[in-house]
Amino acid sequence: MTQQECIPLPKPLDQLTAQEIERKAAIGKIMTYTLQSLTNTYVNKGFEWLLPVALSQSTDPLWPDPGASIEKRIEVDIYGKPVRTTASMIVHKLVGCSTVYEKLFIVSPNIRIEKSERAKTGKHIYEFTQLDFEIQHATSKDVFALVEEAICTLIKGLKADRKAELAILGRSDLKVPKAPFKILDRADLEAKYGADWEAAMIKEITEPVWITNIPREFYDFEDFATGRWDNYDLFMPQYGEVLSGARREYEYSKIYEKMEREQVRKENYSIILKMAKDGRLKPTAGAGIGMERIVGYITGVSHIGECQPFPRVPGNVQEL
């Protein structure tokens, strides 16, 4: 039996035992603290807190991201127009950060109907929440510094203020990371470990690491001359990815060429193309922190659905 087959799926609230209720309550307090700590960091640094969008004509294509595994997209007709459930607010961030808000963040729900076989990876749910942020005229290094400060502040605070909950969860030994975090190149990792570099790498690292240069969607910055991508994921030791982000494309010719190359439906991103063509799309950088994933790492759960009051496990639909 493989490790994935051994991972127990999270239970609905009404099926929890007394001991499981105590554990669930501890996870809830950690989630509350995490949301408070992270949002305080961003507000105190002058970010505007935007409200999320659930339905839109334009959302993340999730293509050709090798990490995406979407079974279907939800589309409905309202007022005579097709709209989709939010897969991520990347398009909204690019428009918002190029116009009104120089620094923004959103606690954003995302709906991605994952394939049923991802139920037991422990890292996938079909509804999840990101702390999604974007900064005008920022570099990747700016994002690294911001995230490192936010996460170190969070974990230091948890160890001081949530000792009882960490003890209940068996995580009293949680370490405050050392900043700056190490930076590794995806191409080097592939050369060292092969195609399954993620699984091999997280077993060896003992501190958070940034992984850069990952071929992905059209909005992540790519150097056409070298083929390198100015983007990044943050991986936690023995756990895996908790954040994904990039410096963004803003030049019309590059965005158009990448959409053509990846056969992305341009009509779904007409506002991005028009703003870029008119020179109104500004250079930005940002990322999204998966709230269930970062709390999953902190609490040591076997399945991140445990971090949700009403688990959204692929292939499983509960009454609530």
What tokens does 251 get?
């030049």
Domains of the chain: 3-307 (3.30.930.10)
Of the given ranges (6-10, 175-179, 215-219), which has the lowest mean pLDDT? Answer: 6-10
Predicted confidence (pLDDT) at residue 291 exceeds the cutoff of 60: yes
Using alpha carbons, select from 29, 65, 69, 34 the residue that is nearest to residue 294.
Answer: 34
Predicted confidence (pLDDT) at residue 9 exceeds the cutoff of 90: yes
Compute CA distances 269 → 59, 135, 259, 266, 273, whole Å. 8, 21, 10, 5, 6
Give residue 4's pLDDT. 54
Exposure string (b/e) for 216-247, b if CB count within 10 Å is 16 or more? bbbbbbbeeeeebbbbbbbbbbebbbbbbbbb
What tokens does 181 get?
């975090």
Predicted confidence (pLDDT) at residue 246 exceeds the cutoff of 80: yes
Predicted confidence (pLDDT) at residue 222 exceeds the cutoff of 50: yes
Q: In DSSP terms, which residues pair with 128 in a beta bridge?
A: 110
Query: How many CB atoms lie under 10 A from the CB of residue 80?
Result: 5
State percent of the chain over pLDDT 90: 94
pLDDT for 113-127, tens place per residue? 999 999 989 999 999
Predicted confidence (pLDDT) at residue 92 exceeds the cutoff of 60: yes
What is the pLDDT confidence band of residue 66, given thresholds at 50, 70 and 90?
A: confident
pLDDT for 233-244, tens place per residue? 999 999 999 999
What tokens does 257 get?
């060429």
Cis previous bond, 10, omega within 30: no
Give residue 2's pLDDT. 47
Record the pTM. Answer: 0.95
CB burial class (10 A; 0-12, 13-18, 19+) of residue 260? exposed
Angle separating helix axes 18-44 and 291-299, nearest 10 degrees: 120
